[in-house]
Amino acid sequence: MVEATVFALKSGKDSIDEIDLNLAYNRVKVSARRFATNPFMHDQFHLLSALQDEENRLKRERLKIK
């Protein structure tokens, strides 16, 4: 939220919109969940599907390591 606020303020806005959230998400590093999907700016985003995809990618990676 802090990063999104910074983007909004730099754009001269007094509120955060989806574009600011998208930009902030891309800037913030999420090391614990590196396969997480950016939900902002996607009309067809489905949370449960995204979480399942993330879990599947983690499982495939773990299999490669073993």
| Side-chain half-sphere CA neighbours of 36 within 13 A | 12
The CA-based angle 45-62-33, given to 5 degrees, is 40
- What digits encode the pLDDT tens for the residues 5-42? 999 999 999 999 999 999 998 888 776 787 888 788 77
Which candidate, 40, 47, 44, 39, places its Cα nearest to that of 20?
Answer: 40
Q: Is the pTM of the predicted complex or chain greater than 0.85? A: no
